[in-house]
């Protein structure tokens, strides 16, 4: 089963108490696809500039990510973000954001990408997400991410897009902001009324929660003490989650979704143990399976 992800491809520069890096391969679609490729054939759609070269393509292709729909903009520069993390790794300062080629991004999907059975709409402008969704008529399960910026400046458009997907993936504060509800449970219930049948609330070091019309499922984060740098952890979670759904035919019943959350959680736990997504480059599926088994054992009572 094939999976298409549309989103940002970037270079990141980060400073943390563990050290710093001036140039990391990043972006939501990159973190997502490196995780999802553990489970399903993944096609990545996003723009890059002249500074994106063979080394970067090699990282993606070595993991089996299909890069045919990576759009090279001649004369352009790839999206760049720089940030500094504090001793409390949940506190982060953005030092620089250069949208570059991402500013005028208009997704161009090949027939193969349009025909994917599973689709993830990364954090891009809601109108663009909706255009991609309308092209992918074969998709059996569609999920999307967003952020506080679009909730603020493109609220109506975002609601129109949310109504067209099966699953909405946001962090807890974004979910509350989107629905104007004061707590997570009320926000999730309100979000279900907007159209999706699955709401995933990312809660960082506290884990994640899934709400459907039939019930609730919560899962703790994997208890790793080896946190190096958390950029992209949420995207890696989404990649593991969607990759597992794709691996299982896109039939997202409750049991599949619960286990998909565990696989997303495991992928995110590895992501934070290195700079960027480097920890995932040579990660073996057996390592992921082992952490899922630990999560299952620790959450049974």
Q: Which DSSP string do the residues of 92-119 spell out, in sequence order? A: EEEEEEE-GGGGG------HHHHT-SEE
Q: Is the pLDDT of residue 218 over 90?
A: yes
Mean pLDDT of the 259-267 span: 98
- Domain borders along the chain are 2-298
Contacts of 233 (CB under 8 A, 6+ apart): 31, 204, 268, 271, 272
The radius of gyration of the chain from alpha carbons, rounded to an integer in Å, stands at 18
Global confidence as pTM:
0.96
300 has pLDDT over 90:
no
Token pair for 260: 């998909």
Q: How far apart are CA 29 and CA 45, in angstroms?
A: 8
Would the pLDDT of 120 be above 90?
A: yes
The pLDDT, as a whole number, for residue 41 is: 96
Position 251 scores a pLDDT of 80
Half-sphere exposure of 19 (CA within 13 A, CB side): 9
pLDDT of residue 18: 82
What would the pLDDT profile of 250-260 be if each residue is shown by its tens digit? 789 999 999 99
Q: What is the percentage of the chain residues whose pLDDT exceeds 90?
A: 94
| pLDDT at residue 90 in the model | 83
- Token match 């991402």: residue? 102
The string of pLDDT tens digits covering residues 50-99 is: 999 999 999 999 999 999 999 999 999 999 999 999 998 888 999 999 99
Smallest CA-to-CA distance from 258 within 200, 197, 183 is with 200
| CATH number of this structure's domain 2-298 | 3.40.1190.20
């Amino acid at each position: 089963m094939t999976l298409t992800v549309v989103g940002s491809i970037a270079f990141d520069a980060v400073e943390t108490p563990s050290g710093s890096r001036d140039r990391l391969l990043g972006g939501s679609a990159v973190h997502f696809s490196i995780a999802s490729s553990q489970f399903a054939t993944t096609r990545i759609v996003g723009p890059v500039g002249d500074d994106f070269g063979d080394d970067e393509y090699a990282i993606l292709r070595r993991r089996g990510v299909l890069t045919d729909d990576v759009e090279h903009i001649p004369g352009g520069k790839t999206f760049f973000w720089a940030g500094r993390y504090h001793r409390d790794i949940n506190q982060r300062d953005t030092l620089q954001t250069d949208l570059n080629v991402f500013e005028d991004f208009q997704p161009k999907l090949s027939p193969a990408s349009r025909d994917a059975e599973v689709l993830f709409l990364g954090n891009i402008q809601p109108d663009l997400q909706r255009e991609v969704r309308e092209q992918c008529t074969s998709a059996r399960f569609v999920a999307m991410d967003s952020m506080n910026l679009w909730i603020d400046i493109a609220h109506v458009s975002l609601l129109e897009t949310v109504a067209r997907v099966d699953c909405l993936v946001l962090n807890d504060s974004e979910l509350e902001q989107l629905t104007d509800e004061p707590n997570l449970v009320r926000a999730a219930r309100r979000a279900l009324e907007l159209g999706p049948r699955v709401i995933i609330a990312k809660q960082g070091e506290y884990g994640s929660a899934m709400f459907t019309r039939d019930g609730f499922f919560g899962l703790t984060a994997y208890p790793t003490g080896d946190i190096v740098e958390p950029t992209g952890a949420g995207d890696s979670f989404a990649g593991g989650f969607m990759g597992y759904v794709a691996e299982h035919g896109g039939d997202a019943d409750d049991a599949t979704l619960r286990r998909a959350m565990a696989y997303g959680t495991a992928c995110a736990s590895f992501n934070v143990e290195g700079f960027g997504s480097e920890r995932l480059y040579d990660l073996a599926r057996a390592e992921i399976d082992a952490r899922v088994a630990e999560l299952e054992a620790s959450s049974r009572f």
